[in-house]
Amino acid sequence: MFPRPSPRSCDTFVALPPAAAGGRVVFGKNSDRPADEVQEIVHVPAAAHPPGAALECTYIKIEQVEKTHAVVLSRPSWLWGAEMGANEHGVCIGNEAVWGREEICDDEALLGMDLVRLGLERADTAEKALTVIVDLLEKYGQGGNCMESHMAFTYHNSFLIADRKEAWVLETSGKYWAAEKVEGGVRNISNQLSITTKIDREHPELKEYAKSKGWWDGEKEFDFAATYSYVNTARMTTSRGRYCEGYKLLNKHKGSITPEIMMEILRDKESGINMEGGFMTTGSMVSVLPQQPNLPCIHFFTGTPDPARSVFKPFIFVPNITQLLKTSSPTFGHDDPVKKQPRFQNKPDRRHELYKKHESAAVVMETIEGQGKEMLKEIQQLEKQKISEMESILQNGCLDINQMVNLFSQCVDEELKIYS
């Protein structure tokens, strides 16, 4: 079997103190997906569930748990899971498509994006989220089409999971997996296995399975990425590629990484991190997680393609949050082509209000020089203002709950006003 061509989609980053400024953890992700796919921002409140309840994920039903945490998600609007998101306890997760030696199962199971949401809904720390994901992986497996199309697009998954105190990388190959606790301040993942010899947790049969397949002789030091994929791990951080470029950008700013620096990294087009073309950056997220438990975690989402022409809008978990109507896509219930067999026979219009207005505004920014520059300047000023307001909250520890209820929605309204 020949190695697949290098895929091009998604980058996820984390910086821990002292690499991150101000004693905070900074998390970021670009979601790179088909250019016409709509990404929505949704808030799902915490909930209690009756014993024996079933949960319908994108393709399969699984057992529901007794209690789920409140989550905010950036997700392709046709599926149940999420590309990235956070929960009320300050846990953040982003996933990546990865390929390797292990055959990919086309059978419908849990998508990696379902596992992102399940980890957020069921765990209050990063390591507990890791445990939730690997337990579900063992029980239900991963598989199914990851694109809203009759053409199959399938992959294994890697995850970057962070909370206020620590971060973990979890990488999978079928049901097998390895996990690495992040040391050294910064870490990024892209579309390749990247855990080498530092393995802090692993599937109990990880090494034996590799030996049975002839991938590892049992003698030399076990290197997960080298064994389970075609990656030359000796050249991972020196070869030209998005993983390497992300690694270099993180290390360039090590010691002073702020949410603004993370946004700058996500906007970088030269590195390919801000992707353009048939697969492009369709949504972006940056979170700041203060180590002090009395300070709120702040999560910024674009909900629109191309972070260089989008606004990172802040979200803070408080009770009774206003519904995020203008970044929520229309729903189609049982008539949704995703739910019907055979699936994906047509594609409904899933654009939400912000997406539609941003789509028109992007054309102006691209083609009408004077008006486009002015519009770009205005959205940059709006973002700068919001970042400044959030920094004041983190510095002063003062949170007006009544204002926070509408924080994200109000910023969307201000963005829409610029586009109008």
Report the catalytic residues: 10
Q: Which residues lie below 8 Å from residue 418, measured CB to CB, with a gap of 6+?
A: 361, 375, 378, 379, 382
Q: How far apart are alpha carbons 273 and 265 in whole angstroms?
A: 8
**Token output for 29:** 């992700």
Which tokens hold the place of 159? 């995850």
Helical segments of 87-157, H only: 112-122, 126-140
Strands 201-202 and 176-181: antiparallel
Nearest to 287 by CA among 126, 400, 396, 156: 126
344's tokens: 């994906």
For residue 337, the 8-state DSSP code is T
List all residues 6 or more positions away from 101 whose beta carbon is below 8 Å from its beta carbon: 1, 173, 213, 215, 228, 229, 230
Please give the Cα distance from 272 to 30 (Å, whole number). 11
Q: Which residue, among 279, 332, 274, has the nearest Cα to 308 in the 3D structure?
A: 274
Q: What are phi and psi of 194, to 5 degrees?
A: -135, -5
Q: Which two three-digit tokens encode residue 90?
A: 């300050």
Distance CA 33, CA 270 (A): 18
CA distances from 119 to 1, 152, 351, 402 (A): 33, 25, 27, 29
d(CA 257, CA 251): 9
List C-alpha distances in Å: 146 to 52, 177, 188: 28, 20, 22
Element (H, E) at 356: helix 353-367
Contact 164/189 with Cβ under 8 angstroms?
A: no
